[in-house]
Amino acid sequence: MKGYVQVYTGNGKGKTTASLGLIMRALGKNLKVYMAQFMKGQKYGELNILEKLGVLVERFGTDECIMSPKDVSEEDKIKAKEGYSKVKEILLSKKYDLVVLDEICVSTYFNLITEEEILHLIDIKPSETELVLTGRYAPKKVIERADLVTEMMEIKHYYSQGVMARDGIER
């Protein structure tokens, strides 16, 4: 089966959770799944359950939340580069049917991963692998190269009421 490149971007809620929904569906048909979470070091709710389901999930970030470029540390940069190398290996191994790179798009916005690096990952993607890239501010060239792009549009978000990320709902 041919694999395509999907991008979930935009400011509304649902990018990471959409990718998790796709992972569930893929597992239901016995596809092999790999997930990398860029810019995330904390243990999100999905982590334990995906590990129980035998999915390899790797995190390439720190515990600190990056809200602006001044929050980016050396460690964040090192982890992002580590993630990029690992993902290259994962794609070249041809072992996975679905590869999800969570928050890789927003990593470009914070200069942790370059646009060219994402394009390179698309170039080396085995033809049968489905590649999903999530995160705000997807770079223009990545959008051009993708086969499917969904923009989550924020109509309302309780974030503006001061509601921070909640366990089991946002993290």
Judged by the rule CB under 6 A, the positions of this chain that interact with ligand ATP are: 11, 13-17, 136, 152, 157, 159, 164-165, 170
Q: Please spell the DSSP secondary structure of 65-124, one letter per residue.
A: ---SGGG--HHHHHHHHHHHHHHHHHHHHT--SEEEEETHHHHHHTTSS-HHHHHHHHHH
- Report the partner that residue 170 touches, choosing among ligand ATP, Mg ion, none (CB closer than 5 to 8 A by kind): ligand ATP
Given the complex with ligand ATP, which of 58 and 88 has the nearer CB atom? 58
Given the complex with ligand ATP, which of 127 and 160 has the nearer CB atom? 160
**Does 40 engage in binding with Mg ion (CB under 5 A)?**
no
- State how far the Cα of 13 lies from the Cα of 108, in Å rounded to an integer: 19
- In whole angstroms, the minimum distance from the beta carbon of 166 to ligand ATP comes to 8
Which residue matches tokens 């072992």?
Answer: 95
Task: Name which of 104, 93, 92 is nearest 36 in CA terms.
Answer: 104
- In whole angstroms, the minimum distance from the beta carbon of 47 to ligand ATP comes to 13
- Report the partner that residue 150 touches, choosing among Mg ion, ligand ATP, none (CB closer than 5 to 8 A by kind): none
Residues within window 3-22 making contact with Mg ion, judged by CB under 5 A: 15-16
- Report the partner that residue 165 touches, choosing among ligand ATP, Mg ion, none (CB closer than 5 to 8 A by kind): ligand ATP
Amino acid at 93: S
Q: How many DSSP H helices and E strands does the chain contain? A: 6, 6
Contact 39, 80 (CB under 8 A): yes
3-state secondary structure of 16: helix
- Report the partner that residue 14 touches, choosing among Mg ion, ligand ATP, none (CB closer than 5 to 8 A by kind): ligand ATP
- Report the partner that residue 13 touches, choosing among ligand ATP, Mg ion, none (CB closer than 5 to 8 A by kind): ligand ATP
Which parts of this chain interact with Mg ion (CB under 5 A)? 15-16
